[in-house]
Amino acid sequence: MKLRFRNLDASLIAFGFAFATACAMAQSGPTLSITSPKMGEAIAGDSVTVSWEGTGVKIVPAADAKVREEGHYHLFLDREDFRSGAEIPRGMENEGIYHTAANRLELKGLKPGSHKAIVVLSYNNHVPWEPLVTATVAFTTR
């Protein structure tokens, strides 16, 4: 009888470990944060370099990516028309949508005033990561 209880305890402990491991894995998805400029920063001039840091994902240029999870970044300047499941269009740099495997992007020719940059992690096929992994910064130029 006592042995049976011990086995039950061992099962519960094993289940607990498995559950804790599953939780840890669920929380270890990619992260993304913008390091520069600072939120609300006022910048002199018409060019701004947006820099960010990501973890938990292998970043590969889309043209070289072999698997879906080799992701890359997109930057949306003064627009936020991305959505889950929808491929982010290419060839729209002049309209404020950039694709990059770098951790920074220089934006040039900004009009004076308020701006917002959103970085969006995506799969190799330019579809936003699920669940969404984004980072936003607002700044002004003068």
Q: Give the number of other Cβ atoms within 10 Å of residue 142's Cβ.
A: 10
Name which of 99 and 115 has its Cβ closer to Cu ion: 99
For binding to Cu ion (CB under 5 A), which residues are involved?
Answer: 99, 126
Name which of 115 and 126 has its Cβ closer to Cu ion: 126
Residues in the chain: 142
Q: What DSSP element (H or E) covers 125? A: none
* Shortest reach from residue 114's CB to Cu ion, in Å: 26
Q: Residues 67, 77: contact at Cβ < 8 Å? A: no
* Shortest reach from residue 60's CB to Cu ion, in Å: 11
Q: What does the alpha-carbon distance between residue 108 and residue 98 come to, in Å, rounded to a whole number?
A: 13
Name which of 48 and 119 has its Cβ closer to Cu ion: 119
* Shortest reach from residue 101's CB to Cu ion, in Å: 9
